[in-house]
Amino acid sequence: MQQFQHYIGGAFLDGSAQFESRDPATGHVWAMMPEARGDDVNAAVDAAQAAFVSPDWAGMTASARGKLLYRLADLISEHAPALAALETRDTGKIIRETSAQIAYVADYYRYYAGLADKIEGAHLPIDKPDMEVWLRREPIGVVAAIVPWNSQLFLSAVKIGPALAAGCTVVLKASEEAPAPLLEFARIFDQAGFPPGVLNVITGFGAECGAVLTSHPKVDHIAFTGGPETARRIVRNSAENLATTSLELGGKSPFIVFEDADIESAVNAQVSGIFAATGQSCVAGSRLIISNKIKAAFLARLKEKAEAVIIGAPDDMATEVGPLCTLGQLETAVDLVAKSKAAGATVITGGQKLDRDGSYFPPTIIDCSQAPNAPCLTHEFFGPVLSVLGFDTEKQALHLANDTAFGLASGVFTKDLTRAHRMIRGIRAGIVWVNTYRAVSPIAPFGGHGLSGHGREGGMQAALDYTKTKAVWLRTSDEAIPDPFVMR
């Protein structure tokens, strides 16, 4: 039985309590995790605040911060195989995905390492001849970063990287579901040479940990990835400390295929968009909006590929779809499929829990053409379930794409360039992929509209979001300031 600890103030510490972590592939308990409660959270925030004002960090040059981030990136690359294996064990994500993703995570830290000494201020051409005015960008303060279990090393990198590049300090709350990879990441971070308290890693449950952290008076910014309901609680908590927030909240992303699209390419992208990561992705292309002219042929090819997917143990490199991370996700998938069938939707393939140990649910395709109100069209499964709608006109396709409260990602497949531009303009989403899907880069911003949240992660803007602007006024005249109460 493996035992994990929190990382607070540069030390590895037990929590106020412990809880079990289960292997999604078997359902068996494999590790004990530390549970943070009020005292643990207070200790982590106090450590971050002390580090923020310490000369060791506050007095460090931006270039020196960048060198530490480069060192961290190298260590992540060095330990990537072990981190990938641990994430696969604790979350059920297949090893071929965790290996590829963690290798790319190091590049995010390298990107923000390079940006650390490029966060610049500005000189203002002020309208007063005896004044020089310029703007300084300074770190916003202590950041509470809260991430879900899926893609957690990536989702923490897009918060930790820009926050540290800007000079902030961080308390990272790993999800209580499968926190092992981030607790182990803390050991790698510890080797990089950052001053104690610059990063603190804890895990725990909502009321005892998350609520205390997000309402803490010493927290200045909250960066959260998760669901809208939790986000609403976080925003209410932030009324206590008036912390700024950035929220990335998932979606119900449209995947639009016109009749002139390269069918094989679009099918492959759809397989990746909904079945990769077992559908446990915030940008999953979970709503296929397909031209009725090619719908039958497209779905036949998609069904063939879905049924050929290799479902198996997540630590097997041959596996293409593994288990869902939690039993709750499995129960949600079963329930929503049943309710969608009752609403008139047709299951083309899948739709039933697999008869094996673990939380396995097969790639599932549901045709909702006769059930426009089926719950599978509006609820985020966080699993390998695709809902399908047909369309006849471009206008109808755009209406269906925007018929959602979410607005994170979208995909458009067409060879018609002018049509592509019309769709790009019309779709209400933070990301539009054209003739591709799920492409990401540290250089490009990532975020959504509506219930998909606000703020952006990735790119230069993310680093600026961890700063606040200070206006500096310098009087250049040698003459005495006139007495304001003497009439002239």
Active-site amino acid positions = 248
Closest C-alpha to 121, from 166, 159, 163: 166
Strand-strand pairing, 169-174 and 142-146: parallel
Q: What is the DSSP string of 84-140?
A: HHHHHHHH---HHHHHHHHHHHHHHHHHHHHHGGG---EEE--S-TTEEEEEEEEE-
Compute the Cα dihedral for 342, 343, 344, 345 and give only its sign: negative
Strand-strand pairing, 11-13 and 6-8: antiparallel
- 180's CB contacts (< 8 A; 6+ apart) are 2, 4, 21, 31, 33, 86, 87, 89, 90
Sheet holding 122-124, edge to edge: 122-124, 131-139, 467-475
The beta strands (E) that lie in 249-373 are given as: 254-257, 287-291, 346-349, 364-367
Q: What CA–CA distance (Å, rounded) separates 160 from 199?
A: 8
What are the distances in angstroms from CA 307 to CA 157, 269, 301, 310, 351? 35, 16, 10, 8, 12
The encoded tokens of residue 27 equal 């359902």
- To which H or E segment does residue 203 belong? strand 199-203
Q: What CA–CA distance (Å, rounded) separates 197 from 341?
A: 52
The structure tokens 């923020």 sit at: 52
Distance of CA 30 to the CA centre of its chain: 26
Q: What CA–CA distance (Å, rounded) separates 43 from 171?
A: 10
> 3-class SS at 428?
coil
The encoded tokens of residue 141 equal 């303060």
